[in-house]
């Protein structure tokens, strides 16, 4: 299946831990994104990579570090997790340019206790 897939689907962890979320797309897109969706369903862009290069880095704590080993993968590592990091994190991809629709993964629900 052609898709954006992210793992894990659920992540429950304690404050202070470090965790990673992985994302892969097999759509041949050259741009990938991380979005955060809060409890009120508001979507906020965090990062964007184009062909492995960081092109958008929103005002996100530097505890969040994206890594793109190749243009089909974009991982998100989070250090020293805090309660406020609890949210659903979505990976997305497109062919670059904001007129190109985004293809989203199914999300990773992160719960920090």
Token pair 């629900």 in the structure block, residue: 109
The reply on whether position 102 binds other proteins by CB under 8 A is: yes
The reply on whether position 90 binds other proteins by CB under 8 A is: yes
Site string for other proteins, 41-80 (x = CB under 8 A): xxx-x--x-------x------------------------
Instruction: Considering only CA atoms, give the Rg of the chain.
Output: 13
- Looking at beta carbons only, is 80 or 95 nearer to other proteins? 95
The reply on whether position 105 binds other proteins by CB under 8 A is: yes
Where are any strands of DSSP class E within the chain?
4-7, 10-13, 19-25, 31-37, 43-50, 53-57, 64-70, 73-78, 87-94, 103-104, 108-112
Where along the sequence are the contacts to other proteins (CB under 8 A)?
4, 40-43, 45, 48, 56, 90, 92, 97-99, 101-107
């Amino acid at each position: 299946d052609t898709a954006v897939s992210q793992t894990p689907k659920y992540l429950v962890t304690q404050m202070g831990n470090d965790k990673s979320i992985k994302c892969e797309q097999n759509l041949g897109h050259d741009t990938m994104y991380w979005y955060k969706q809060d409890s009120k369903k508001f979507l906020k862009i965090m990062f964007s990579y184009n062909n492995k290069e960081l092109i958008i880095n929103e005002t996100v704590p530097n505890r969040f570090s994206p890594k793109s080993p190749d243009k089909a993968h974009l991982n998100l590592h989070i250090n020293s997790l805090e309660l406020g990091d609890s949210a659903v994190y979505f990976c997305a991809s497109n062919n670059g340019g904001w007129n190109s629709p985004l293809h989203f993964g199914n999300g990773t629900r992160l719960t920090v206790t």
